[in-house]
A and B are shown apart, each in its own frame.
Chain A
């Protein structure tokens, strides 16, 4: 399967949809560099669930050795990293 950063972004936004609705944000309005933790959308272990959802959706296993954990926090860098790995 061809995994694009856009497709990963869509899965992440889907996972975040309820939290976005709670915080009154539209999913289109999520900037590439929005810090998901500072914005109160997830906590660190919530990130595990998003990783699990992305891996399940694309049937991939991602190796995070090369990723600075801080880059997990924003949707743009995260999506691009997954797409590069897939």
Chain B
């Protein structure tokens, strides 16, 4: 695999801006029933960028980060481009998360300004709290007319709300020189100690990824991309920036449309599909993967969690004109760092435990599979996957300790490697693919989203007011886990009330489906919680 342009640093937004020059009238985005041309989307983004520049002029703005609190709207996409065109990194926030969690991310990232869309603004007072609170002083609300902007300002005392009419004209935007080492986006992922970790991705981390994929998939201005991922999930970087690099259209469905992914695929006439395997599993359950259903698809791409062989096979038959690929990578190594081309006749022999391999590293990246002392294991042996190269990111925001633990220089090497925590088998020589086997820690994935069980347990302690708690990935499936269940020790604990309090702290996918109250948690001989005994309780139900 090669990519012709290599890894020349450039800004994340440059591809979009070049396509806007080359294809001003072609569609860049479809969302909420509207189509936005490249020129139209650029104009909206420029107005937001120019407004952010004007509002920042008077005051200090130490961290070059701006939040985008928007979801499946034109303002979500224009907002994020506007933030980048203002020379800032974007911090995506999502109103489907509890306001308390959004508040934590906002305060942690110290954003001085925030761009909000129509539907998310309703939640802002809950997120920001009362007058004189911390958080962004400037709220840019491009969807708000004068009346609604004034109403919003009244509910956000001490903050400046800039509505549609106060936006700068797009023409007053002055391009900002790109710093390839600056943060392009800051994404929060689950953290084992109870606080989400902010992964800092620099502009220079992204070109290797984007260039590799636009060339591999021969993307052009006629392609139509799915957009199933929330902007808080880094798979969305593919959806947008791989499409925009070559003038393709990003087709963003509403949450309502996504209940029927098959219809979305057909009606949006998608040519490039990218989702977590859970969506394909869902479609298969619904009978939406009948052979030949999606003849116009060119590429069928999956990432975020293990891809079952049977699902890849069924998808391949449903979209016979497409090639199925399985991509793999942590946010810390910029979206995806390995990939594997699925072939219905040859791949089954390469699957381990019914799971499609994660394949080979992207060009210019290196992987090494190591033991606990970070020494390379022998071919055929199992170890932790380490990644090096231009996609390895800057580390965790405001957290040098955890950065030092995860971004390491292994003995005998001279380059920083990111420790993925993923357990894989080192292939035998001769070009065999890497097989994914699981985790070396307590991280689980539910529907492709990373969850540290330690973070769930920290929230449980807070919500239940007891120390002895345990969270388990449950039920277990062939490919991992399907959800979370929890145990708390204490006679007076009311599971329903605890679960209700957790909903205010954790995103929905991290809230245990059931909480079991026991008199005491079983302990193993070392005095630690006996997780196998807890699993046996669930198994026996």
Contact = CB atoms under 8 A, between A and B. Distances in A.
Query: For the complex, would chain A's binding face be called helix, strand, loop or mixed by DSSP majority?
Result: helix
B273 to A, nearest CB: 15
B345 interface: no
Q: Which among A17, A64, A70 has the greatest number of chain B C-beta atoms within 10 A?
A: A64
Contacts of B258: 43-44
A53 B513 contact: yes
Contacts of B500: 18, 21
Interface residues of B, number: 30
A34 interface: no
Nearest to A15: B513
Interface in B460-519: 475, 482-483, 496, 499-500, 502-504, 508, 511, 513
Interface residues of A, number: 29
A47 B288 CA distance: 15
Interface stretch (B165-173, B239-247, B279-287): B279-287
A48 B282 contact: yes
A47 B260 CA distance: 11
Given A18-B500, A43-B258, A48-B282, A69 B96 contact: no
Nearest to B504: A22
Nearest to B260: A69
A66 B263 CA distance: 15
B256 A38 contact: yes
Contacts of A66: 287
Nearest to A65: B287
Given A45-B279, A48-B282, A73 B475 contact: no
Contacts of A70: 259-260
Q: Which among A44, A52, A72 has the greatest number of chain B C-beta atoms within 10 A?
A: A44
A31 interface: no
B240 to A, nearest CB: 20
A51 B284 CA distance: 13
A44 B282 contact: yes
Contacts of A65: 286-287
Contact of B499 (A18, A45, A47, A72): A18
B503 A44 contact: no
A67 interface: yes
Given A18-B499, A49-B513, A70-B259, A56 B475 contact: yes
B278 interface: yes
Contacts of B288: 69
A55 to B, nearest CB: 10
Contacts of B511: 18
Contact of B278 (A17, A35, A48, A51): A48
Contacts of B255: 37, 43-44
B540 to A, nearest CB: 14
B447 interface: yes
B200 to A, nearest CB: 28
A70 B503 CA distance: 27
Contacts of A51: 285
A17 B496 contact: yes
Interface in B338-369: none
A47 to B, nearest CB: 7
Contact of A52 (B96, B482, B499, B508): B482
A54 B482 CA distance: 14
Interface in B241-300: 255-256, 258-263, 278-279, 281-282, 285-288
A52 B483 contact: yes
A19 B508 contact: yes
Interface in A41-83: 43-49, 51-53, 56, 63-67, 69-70, 72-73
B508 A21 contact: no
A53 to B, nearest CB: 7
Nearest to A49: B483
30 contacts: A18-B499, A18-B500, A19-B503, A19-B508, A21-B500, A21-B503, A22-B503, A37-B256, A37-B259, A43-B258, A44-B261, A45-B279, A45-B282, A47-B259, A48-B281, A48-B282, A48-B285, A49-B482, A49-B483, A49-B513, A51-B285, A52-B475, A56-B475, A64-B286, A64-B287, A66-B287, A67-B287, A69-B263, A69-B286, A69-B288
Given A44-B258, A69-B263, 9 more contacts: A19-B508, A22-B503, A37-B255, A45-B278, A46-B508, A64-B285, A67-B286, A67-B287, A72-B259
Shortest 4 CB-CB contacts between residues of A and residues of B: A65-B287, A69-B260, A44-B258, A44-B259
